[in-house]
Amino acid sequence: MADAATLLEVRDIARRFGSVVALRAATLTVRAGEVHALMGANGAGKSTLVKMLTGVIRPDAGSIQIRGTPRQFRSPAEARGAGLVSVYQDPALVPDLTIAQNLRLARAAPEVVRRWLAQFGFAALDFATVVRTLPLPTLRLIDLARALAAEPDILLLDEITAALPADLAQHVFAVARQWRAQGRSVIFISHRLAEISALCDRATVLRDGVTVGVVDPAQGGEERIVALMLGAPPEQPAAAGIAAAAAPAGPPALRVEGLRSGEKLRDVSFSLAAGEVLGVAALEGQGQEELFDCLAGLRRPDGGSILADGMAQRFRHPADAIRAGMVLVPADRVQALLPQRSVQENIALPLVRRLADWGALPIRAERARVADAVRRLNIDTRAAAEVRRLSGGNQQKVVIARWLAAGFRTLLCFDPTRGIDIGTKRQIYALVRELAAAGAAVLLFTSELPEIALACDRVVVLFGGRVVQELPAAQADEATLLRAAHGLASREGMAA
Amino acid sequence: MTAALLRRHATLLVMPLLVAAFLAVTVAIHPDFGAFDVQSLALGALPLALAAAAQTVVVISGGIDLSVGSLMAVANVLAASTMQHAGFGGALLIAALILLGGALAGAVNGAVLVFSRVPDVVVTLAAGFIWGGIALLILEQPGGGAPQGFLDLAGGTLGGAWLPNALVLLVVVVAAVWLPVRHSRLGLTLYAIGSDRTAAFRSGVGVDRTRLIAYVVGGVFSALGGLALTMTTGIGSPLSGTYYTLSGLAAVVVGGVSLTGGRGGMAGPMFAAYILTLIPTDLIFLNIDPNYGQVIQGTLIVLVVMGGGLATLLRTRA
C-alpha cells in the first residue's frame, strides 16, 4: 500500500475521550500530487483526526506515517517540522499582535508571506496592523499565506472557504491546484460539496469514527459521498417543491423600511409575511451583519423603521426584540449559548425572564417545554450536561430549541449552518420549513448561495448595504445570485 | 500612521502627564515640596513599582500572581535577618542568592499551575499563604537590618539632589530584566499566550513553557521588591505581603495593562506606582486622614478602567 507516491498514511487510528469513542479505526492515505477531501458528518471523528494530524491530541492506537516513516506529533510545531502544516477552521493568529509579530511567532518569512498575499489581492496590507482590527476573510488569507510560507509537503485546509466570499475562495482553489501540480498534497475539508467535486481527486469519508469509503468526487460522486456520510440513502433536499408560489395573505410579520446603520447598512427595505422564508444573499460585509443586529436589538439603527406585525419597534436591548417576537440564531453558536451549562438550562434561559422575578421557578412546566423542544428537534443529548461538548449542528439545534420553547414570531437566522455537515444542514433547513409552515416568519441569511433555493420562498440580494435585487427562489440559481451579489456589473463589485 | 502609533502608545503618553498632574497638585498644596520629598517619593514607590513589575509580566501572559507580596515579604525578612552583620560585599552576595530564590519560587508556582491545570488564581493564592507563613517563621517581629552601603543603593542621591538613587535603581533594574525579555522572541510569546492561547499554540508557541517563564520573571521581580523593601525601610517586616499584592495589582490596572492578558507594557505600571504613592502623601499634606487614600485608590482604578473603555468606545464610534 505504502508505495513511493504515498505521502501520508494514517492507519487504524483510534481515540476515546472518557466513555465516548471519537475514532474507532480511521484510515487515510494521501498520495503525492493530489487534493484529498476529508468528509464526515458532525461527530464522525473528522475534527479528532485533524487534531491528531496537527499534534493537538495523541492517538490511543494506530499509526501515522509520512513518506513511510512513523511519526508522533506532540505539538503543531512538530507537525510542521515533518512537513504537515494546517490552516485551522478559525483564525490561528494572535489578536493583540501585529501581522509582522504573528509571522515572527510562527517563524514565517515575511517576504514570502507578502508575495502570497499579493497574489491573493492584498498587496497593500500593512504588516504593522494589529490583527484584531482586520476583517475575518483577510485573517483567513493571512493564515493561508503563513502556512504556505512554510512550504509544507502536506497542506491541511480545514473549512477555510467557510468564511470566504466566492471571489476570495478562488485563490484557495488556485493554491490547492498549484500544490498538486508541484507534486505536493492538500487535505481539504469543506462542507460545500460543489467545491469538493470541482477540486478534489479523492475523498475519504468518515462515519462514527471509521473510514467508510474512498470516493472519486467528480460527477455523480456527491450523492455517493452523502450516502456514505449518512449511512443511509440521502433524503431529498428539504424544500424542493415546497416553495410556495402564491404570496401569503395577511399583514407582514416583519416590515423594514429604509433601515440604515453605520457605514455598512445604507438603505434596506423588505417585508416578510408569516409563514414565509425570506432569504438574504450577500458577499461578506455587505451590511447583512448590521441588518440582523438591528433586527435582533443588538445594534441601534441610524434611520429607517422596523415594523413587527404593523407596529413600529425601537429596540434598545435584545430583550425588547425578543418581547416583540424577533429572535436570533447566530452563526457562532457560542454567542447564543452558555457553553458550560446543560442543554436543559440553555433552552430554559429565555423562559426564565418571562416568569416572575421572585419566587420559585415552576420547574415542572419548564421541564416539559424543554423536553418537548429537545424531542421536536431530535437533539442528540448524550453529552447534554455541557453544551460545549455537543457537535456544532446539535448546538445550533439547541439555539433553535430555546426559541421554540420560549415562543417567537419571527426567526432571524444568520448563517445558521456555518461549519455544519450536510446531513444536519438538511435537518436544520427542514426544521426552518416546518416552522414556517406552522406560521413563523423566517429571515435567513446564508453564505452558501446554493442553499437559498433549498430553504427559501423569496430572496433579497444585498450589495453595498442596499437591496439590489429581489427574486422568487425558483429563479435564484447560484449564477444569478452570484452576479447580483457582486452588484451586477458594477465596478466596485468586480474589484473586490 | 502617526495617529495609529499614538493610539498604540497612548498609555506611554497619558501616564507621564498624569504623574506630572499629580506632582503639580502636590506642589500646589505643599509649596515647600523639594528634593527631599522627591527622594521620599522615590523610596516609597520603589517596592510598589517592583511588585507591579512582577505582576505585569504575569498578567501580560494571561495569568495572575496573588503571591507577589508574600514572596516579597520572604525576600525582605531573609535579607534583613542575614545581612544584619554582613559587609557590603556579603550583602550583595546574599541579594544575588535571594534573587535566585525568587526565580525558583516563581518556577515552582509556574510548574504547579502548568502541570496540575489548577487555575492561576488558586495556585498563587495558596502560594501566598505559604510564603506569608514562611516569612513569619523566619522573622516573627519586624526587625533585622542591613549594612549602610546596601541601604544607600536606594537611599542616596548620587546623581544630584533631584535624582534619587531609588529612581535610578528602579529604571536600571526593570530595564535590565524586562528589555531583554520584551525584545526577544520570549517577549512576543508572552504577549501571544496572554492574547489568545489557542492561536499561540497553533503558531508553534510552547504555551506551558512560556507560562512558566512568566512566573519565573515575576519571581525575580518579587525578590527584587523584597530587597527594595529592606533597602528603603532598613528592616524586615514579615506582614507586608497583602498590601503589595493588591497595590501592585492596582498599579498594573491603572498602568493600562489588560487583566485579560496580551495588552499593555511595563512603563505604565511604573508611573502608576508613583501616582499610587503620591496619593497618601498629598492627603497628609492636606491634613486629611491618609486612610482616605485607599478610597481614592479604589476610585482611581474604576475611573481608569472606565476611561479605557470609553476611549475604545469613542474609537469604534469614530
Partner-chain residue, chosen from A96, A106, A130, that has the shortest CB–CB distance to B203: A106
Torsion of CA B8, B10, B16, B19, to 10 degrees: -140
Separation between Cα atoms, residue A417 and residue A52, nearest integer Å: 25
Whether A251 shows a pLDDT value over 90: the answer reads no
* B309: contact with A, CB 8 A cutoff: no
Instruction: Decide: A89 and B198 in contact? Cβ < 8 Å.
Output: no
Task: For residue B34, give the amino acid letter.
Answer: G
pLDDT of residue B272: 93
Element (H, E) at A492: helix A491-495
pLDDT of residue A489: 40
Whether A355 shows a pLDDT value over 70: the answer reads no
Q: Are strands A154-158 and A185-189 parallel, antiparallel or unpaired?
A: parallel
pLDDT of residue A153: 93
Instruction: Decide: A411 and A327 in contact? Cβ < 8 Å.
Output: yes
**Smallest CA–CA separation between A151 and chain B, in Å?**
15
Q: Which of A89, A96, A160, A299 to mutate to test the interface with B (most CBs of B within 10 A)?
A: A96
List the single residue in A with minimal CA-CA distance to B261: A96
Chain B CB contacts of A128 below 8 Å: 4
Separation between Cα atoms, residue B302 and residue B266, nearest integer Å: 20
Nearest to B46 by CA among B164, B181, B162: B164
pLDDT of residue B203: 87
B33 sits in the region (left: phi over 0; alpha: psi -120 to 50; else beta) called beta
Nearest to B70 by CA among B251, B252, B239, B276: B239
pLDDT, tens digit, for every residue of A283-336? 777 889 999 999 999 899 999 999 988 888 888 888 888 888 899 988 877 777
Partner-chain residue, chosen from B188, B189, B202, that has the shortest CB–CB distance to A92: B202
Separation between Cα atoms, residue B45 and residue B64, nearest integer Å: 21
Helix or strand or coil: residue B100?
helix
* B199: contact with A, CB 8 A cutoff: yes
pLDDT, tens digit, for every residue of B108-154? 999 999 999 999 999 999 999 999 999 999 999 999 999 999 999 99
List the single residue in B with minimal CA-CA distance to A262: B317
pLDDT of residue A495: 35
Whether A245 shows a pLDDT value over 70: the answer reads no
The whole-angstrom distance between residue A313's C-alpha and the CA centroid of its chain comes to 30
Which of the pair, A479 or A341, is modelled with greater confidence?
Answer: A341
Helix (H), strand (E) counts: chain B: 14, 0
Partner-chain residue, chosen from A76, A88, A97, that has the shortest CB–CB distance to B204: A76
Average confidence score pLDDT of chain B: 90
pLDDT of residue A26: 92
Partner-chain residue, chosen from A88, A95, A105, that has the shortest CB–CB distance to B188: A105
pLDDT of residue B312: 62
pLDDT of residue A448: 77
Q: Domain residues of chain B, as ranges?
A: 41-317
pLDDT of residue B4: 60
Burial class (CB in 10 A: 0-12, 13-18, 19+), B12: middle
> Lowest-pLDDT range, A94-103, A198-207, A396-405?
A396-405
> A173: pLDDT confidence band, cut at 50, 70 and 90?
very high
DSSP string over A431-482: HHHHHHHTT-EEEEE-S-THHHHHH-SEEEEEETTEEEEEEEGGG--HHHHH
Cα dist from A74 to A54, A61, B270, whole Å: 8, 15, 39
* B194: contact with A, CB 8 A cutoff: yes
> A362: pLDDT confidence band, cut at 50, 70 and 90?
low
Chain B CB contacts of A101 below 8 Å: 188, 191-192
Between helix A221-230 and helix A422-437 the angle, nearest 10°, is: 80
* B312: contact with A, CB 8 A cutoff: no
* B232: contact with A, CB 8 A cutoff: no
Chain B CB contacts of A56 below 8 Å: 201
Among residues 249-268 of chain B, which lie with CB inside 8 Å of chain A?
262-263
Separation between Cα atoms, residue A219 and residue A206, nearest integer Å: 20
Whether A233 shows a pLDDT value over 80: the answer reads no
Helix or strand or coil: residue A157?
strand
pLDDT of residue A250: 62
pLDDT of residue B65: 96
Interface list for chain A against chain B, based on CB atoms closer than 8 Å: 54, 56, 75-77, 80, 86, 88, 91-97, 101-102, 104-107, 128, 130
The three three-digit cell numbers of residue A481, written as one number = 445570485
pLDDT of residue A457: 92
Global pTM?
Answer: 0.74
Whether A359 shows a pLDDT value over 70: the answer reads no
pLDDT, tens digit, for every residue of A22-46? 899 899 999 999 999 998 876 688 8
How confident is the model over B174-194, as a mean pLDDT?
94
Q: What are phi and psi of A9, to 5 degrees?
A: -135, 120
Find the DSSP H helices in A251-304: 288-295
Separation between Cα atoms, residue A415 and residue A331, nearest integer Å: 5
Domains of chain A: 6-230 (3.40.50.300), 252-495 (3.40.50.300)
Q: Which of B203, B205, B209 to mutate to test the interface with A (most CBs of A within 10 A)?
A: B203
Whether B163 shows a pLDDT value over 50: the answer reads yes
Chain-chain contact of A105 with B262 (C-beta, under 8 angstroms): no
List the single residue in B with minimal CA-CA distance to A55: B202
Whether A360 shows a pLDDT value over 70: the answer reads no
Chain A CB contacts of B195 below 8 Å: 94-97
> Lowest-pLDDT range, A394-403, B57-66, B164-173, B229-238?
A394-403
Residues 6+ apart with CB under 8 A from A485: A281, A282, A283, A286, A449, A461, A462, A463, A493
Instruction: Decide: B173 and B224 in contact? Cβ < 8 Å.
Output: yes
Torsion of CA A278, A283, A284, A286, to 10 degrees: -70
List the single residue in A with minimal CA-CA distance to B201: A76
> A351: pLDDT confidence band, cut at 50, 70 and 90?
low
The three three-digit cell numbers of residue A8, written as one number = 501520508
Nearest to B285 by CA among B27, B18, B24, B40: B27
> A484: pLDDT confidence band, cut at 50, 70 and 90?
confident
Tell me how many degrees the CA angle B311-B312-B316 measures, rounded to the nearest 5.
Answer: 120
Output helix, strand, coil percentages for chain B, rounded to the nearest 5: 75, 0, 20
CB atoms within 10 A of CB B305: 15
Q: Which of A466-470, B86-90, B98-102 holds the top average pLDDT?
A: B98-102
Element (H, E) at A13: strand A6-17
Chain B CB contacts of A76 below 8 Å: 201-204
**Smallest CA–CA separation between A102 and chain B, in Å?**
8
Q: What are phi and psi of A396, to 5 degrees?
A: -65, -35
Separation between Cα atoms, residue A155 and residue A151, nearest integer Å: 9
> A237: pLDDT confidence band, cut at 50, 70 and 90?
very low
How confident is the model over B62-70, as a mean pLDDT?
96
Cα dist from A228 to A43, A231, A358, A454, B248, whole Å: 14, 5, 52, 22, 60
Q: Which of B5, B197, B202 to mutate to test the interface with A (most CBs of A within 10 A)?
A: B202
Burial A227-260 (b: 16+ CB within 10 A, else e): bbbbeeebeebbbeebbeeeebeeebbbbbeebb
A vs B, Cβ pairs < 8 A, gives: 63
pLDDT of residue B316: 58
Chain-chain contact of A105 with B203 (C-beta, under 8 angstroms): yes
Whether A356 shows a pLDDT value over 50: the answer reads no
> A487: pLDDT confidence band, cut at 50, 70 and 90?
low
Separation between Cα atoms, residue A430 and residue A277, nearest integer Å: 12
pLDDT, tens digit, for every residue of B241-256? 888 999 999 999 988 8
**Smallest CA–CA separation between B74 and chain A, in Å?**
35
Q: Among residues of chain A, what percentage have pLDDT more than 90?
A: 34
* B188: contact with A, CB 8 A cutoff: yes
Whether B2 shows a pLDDT value over 70: the answer reads no
Chain B CB contacts of A75 below 8 Å: 201, 204, 206
Q: Strands across the sheet with A154-158, in order?
A: A69-71, A61-66, A6-17, A20-31, A210-215, A202-207, A35-40, A185-189, A154-158, A84-87
Partner-chain residue, chosen from B4, B8, B192, that has the shortest CB–CB distance to A94: B192
Average confidence score pLDDT of chain A: 83
Separation between Cα atoms, residue A352 and residue A410, nearest integer Å: 20
How confident is the model over B172-197, as a mean pLDDT?
94
List the single residue in B with minimal CA-CA distance to A104: B185
Which of the pair, B270 or A465, is modelled with greater confidence?
Answer: B270
pLDDT of residue A358: 53
Chain-chain contact of A76 with B202 (C-beta, under 8 angstroms): yes
pLDDT, tens digit, for every residue of A87-140? 988 788 999 999 999 999 988 999 999 999 999 999 999 999 999 889 888 999
pLDDT of residue B184: 92
Chain-chain contact of A94 with B199 (C-beta, under 8 angstroms): yes
List A329's β-bridge partners, or say none: A413
Nearest to B119 by CA among B68, B60, B197, B65: B65
Separation between Cα atoms, residue B78 and residue B102, nearest integer Å: 11
**Smallest CA–CA separation between B88 and chain A, in Å?**
44
Q: Are strands A303-308 and A252-261 parallel, antiparallel or unpaired?
A: antiparallel
Chain B CB contacts of A94 below 8 Å: 191-192, 195-196, 199-200, 203, 262
> Lowest-pLDDT range, A374-378, B4-8, B101-105?
B4-8
Chain-chain contact of A94 with B8 (C-beta, under 8 angstroms): no
Whether A243 shows a pLDDT value over 50: the answer reads no
Between helix B207-233 and helix B88-116 the angle, nearest 10°, is: 150
How confident is the model over B215-229, as a mean pLDDT?
97
Chain A CB contacts of B202 below 8 Å: 54, 76, 86, 88, 92
Residue B241: how many CA atoms within 13 Å on its side-chain side?
A: 24
Torsion of CA A86, A87, A88, A89, to 10 degrees: -140
Separation between Cα atoms, residue B92 and residue B46, nearest integer Å: 18
The three three-digit cell numbers of residue B167, written as one number = 529612581
Element (H, E) at A189: strand A185-189
**Smallest CA–CA separation between A187 and chain B, in Å?**
17
